[in-house]
């Protein structure tokens, strides 16, 4: 039995969960998310969401914990939301935003301008003496991670000086330079 899949998910106040066949819809104060689920059954009992599988088939066992985690992320997202912070490490690396348009200077001959989807809110913080930080907030965890990974892919941190775009709190594996 999946240790994650068998745990029920408590539905907080202000969140409604609807199950219509294979489609689960979660509505909350931050927004609405819809996901299609197959191979498992989703039930709502006593203000809790329960994910069950009908057999111990390998395909169903592999998706049991996954679908429970996806539903949990949907519920947490519409009630509290998710935040990711990216740090720009390097001399002359800058970030600024105007609405949903993110303008990043990463040492290339031109600035990178990224139009961020409306579901993800962008905020840039630039303090003197500190590295610029890009704050991304959204109610959709998958979309938030995808946008953050896209921004990070413009210049991944390199292992010698650590220059590049990294997540705040990310531990980089550093290498020693060439010895004299």
Averaged over 115-131, what is the pLDDT? Answer: 94
What own/partner pairs with CB < 8 Å and gap ≥ 24 does 39-46 have? 39/63, 40/64, 40/67, 42/67, 42/71, 43/19, 44/11, 44/17, 44/19
Asked whether residue 158 is assigned to any structural domain, the reply reads: yes
Given a cut of 80, whether residue 2 has pLDDT beyond it is no
Averaged over 147-174, what is the pLDDT? Answer: 94
pLDDT per residue as tens digits for the range 6-17 = 899 999 999 999
Asked whether residue 44 is assigned to any structural domain, the reply reads: yes
Asked whether residue 179 is assigned to any structural domain, the reply reads: no
Give the number of domains in the chain: 2
Q: For residues 51 and 100, state if they share a domain.
A: no
Q: For residues 93 and 63, state if they share a domain.
A: no
Q: For residues 40 and 100, state if they share a domain.
A: no
pTM of full prediction above 0.85: yes
Q: For residues 107 and 70, state if they share a domain.
A: no
Asked whether residue 135 is assigned to any structural domain, the reply reads: yes
**Which structural domain, as residue segments, surrounds residue 46?**
9-79
**How far is it, in rounded angstroms, from Cα 34 to Cα 31?**
10
Give the chain's mean pLDDT: 92
Strands, DSSP E only, in the chain? Answer: 9-10, 16-20, 23-27, 32-36, 41-45, 48-52, 82-89, 94-98, 101-105, 112-115, 121-125, 133-138, 164-167
Q: Could you give the percent of the chain with pLDDT greater than 70?
A: 98
CB 83 within 8 A of CB 137: yes
- Say what the pLDDT of residue 38 is: 84
The residue among 79, 111, 133 that closes a domain is 79
- Say what the pLDDT of residue 40 is: 87
Given a cut of 90, whether residue 89 has pLDDT beyond it is yes
Asked whether residue 133 is assigned to any structural domain, the reply reads: yes
Q: For residues 105 and 118, state if they share a domain.
A: yes
Averaged over 90-113, what is the pLDDT? Answer: 94
- Say what the pLDDT of residue 1 is: 52
Asked whether residue 30 is assigned to any structural domain, the reply reads: yes
**The domain spanning residue 150 has which CATH number?**
3.90.930.12
Averaged over 106-134, what is the pLDDT? Answer: 94
Q: For residues 86 and 71, state if they share a domain.
A: no
Q: What H or E segment, with its residue span, contains residue 63? A: helix 58-79
């Amino acid at each position: 039995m999946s240790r994650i899949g068998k745990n029920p998910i408590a539905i907080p106040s202000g969140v409604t969960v609807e199950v219509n066949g294979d489609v689960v819809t979660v509505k909350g104060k931050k927004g609405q998310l819809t996901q299609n689920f197959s191979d498992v059954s989703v039930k709502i009992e006593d203000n809790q969401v329960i994910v069950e599988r009908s057999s111990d088939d390998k395909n169903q066992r592999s998706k049991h914990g996954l679908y429970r985690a996806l539903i949990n992320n949907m519920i947490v997202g519409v009630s509290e939301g998710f935040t990711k912070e990216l740090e720009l490490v390097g001399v002359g690396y800058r970030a600024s935003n105007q609405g949903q348009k993110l303008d990043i200077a990463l040492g290339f001959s031109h600035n990178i301008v990224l139009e961020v989807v409306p579901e993800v809110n962008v905020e840039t913080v630039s303090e003197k003496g500190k590295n610029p930080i890009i704050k991304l907030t959204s109610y959709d965890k998958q979309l938030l991670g995808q946008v953050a990974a896209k921004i990070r892919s413009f210049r991944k941190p390199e292992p010698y000086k650590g220059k590049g775009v990294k997540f705040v709190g990310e531990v980089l594996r550093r290498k020693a330079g060439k010895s004299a």
